[in-house]
């Protein structure tokens, strides 16, 4: 049994590094095709619509509930110290620094990442991608570049929207309990927010958007085993994207804290 176990471990390590190398090649291929004309402008706009506009209902509901619930849960703790006046600042710091990009990206990883993985995986197993290559259409440029650009552009835009909706949810709770005016709430909320905080949040959103797009495209583009492979591609797109988002969150927070000194 011991040799078999060693074989399995060795095979697993070999598979990991092989996949890592293939992923690196795929990313390099994306950047190569990104800067070489022609550019698929119409397809990029279409994907931006699919990723951005069609995600608004879900993002709106999630953002509003996040702001409302976070404010509601934070109130009792601050009330114990008579510090409910700090609530707008606390909520703004939490939402803008962390919750807006993270919640948006996790929602997008589930909705958009799985869609990209399943869509490209279906095209791969039904040989539509092979047919595009035969027809002198560059599938990487048409399918991959357009989708990764769309996710990289739309996740930051959705993050801003999520932050706005979440702050409106927070304001509703604060106004209901303290009758705080709209202007007073937002003046207090953004008093402790710096340019570095906003820049860090947008950087996170851009990195997360690129991650969701490239992982979904890679998994779909390399799908195998028929319809079962399509399901695996969609599932892997979500799981791997979420894992990488959390890793990137830790790294970006560490870098931001180092810059802040």
Provide the pLDDT for residue 7: 42
**pTM of structure:** 0.88
Largest CA distance in the chain: 71
Domain regions of the chain by residue span: 1-36, 39-260
pLDDT in tens, 129-138: 888 878 878 8
CA distance 115 to 56: 16
pLDDT band at 10 (very low <50, low <70, confident <90, very high): low
Give per-residue pLDDT as tens, 31-46: 888 888 888 889 999 9
d(CA 88, CA 251): 27
**Which residues are within 8 A (CB) of 197 and not within 5 positions of it... i.e. 6 or more apart?**
93, 96, 97
């Amino acid at each position: 049994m011991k040799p078999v176990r060693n074989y399995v471990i060795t095979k697993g390590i070999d598979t990991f590094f092989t996949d890592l190398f293939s992923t690196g090649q795929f990313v390099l291929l994306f950047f190569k095709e990104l800067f070489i004309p022609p550019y698929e402008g119409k397809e990029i706009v279409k994907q931006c619509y699919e990723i951005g506009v069609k995600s608004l209902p879900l993002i709106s509901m999630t953002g509003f509930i996040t702001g409302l619930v976070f404010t509601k849960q934070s109130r009792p703790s601050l009330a114990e110290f008579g510090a409910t006046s700090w609530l707008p600042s606390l909520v703004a710091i939490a939402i803008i620094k962390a919750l807006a990009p993270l919640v948006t990206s996790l929602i997008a990883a589930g909705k958009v990442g799985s869609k990209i993985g399943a869509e490209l995986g279906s095209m791969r197993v039904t040989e539509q991608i092979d047919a595009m290559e035969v027809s002198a259409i560059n599938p990487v440029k048409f399918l991959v570049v357009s989708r990764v650009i769309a996710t990289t552009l739309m996740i930051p835009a959705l993050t801003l929207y999520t932050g706005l909706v979440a702050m409106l949810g927070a304001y509703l709770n604060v106004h209901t309990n303290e009758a705080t005016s709209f202007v007073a709430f937002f003046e207090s909320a953004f008093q402790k927010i710096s340019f570095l905080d906003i820049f860090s949040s947008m950087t996170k959103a851009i990195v997360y958007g690129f991650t969701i797009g490239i992982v979904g495209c890679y998994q779909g583009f390399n799908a195998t085993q028929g319809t079962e492979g399509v399901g695996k591609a969609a599932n892997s797109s979500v799981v791997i994207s979420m894992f990488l988002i959390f890793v990137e969150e830790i790294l970006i927070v560490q870098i931001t804290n180092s810059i802040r000194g």
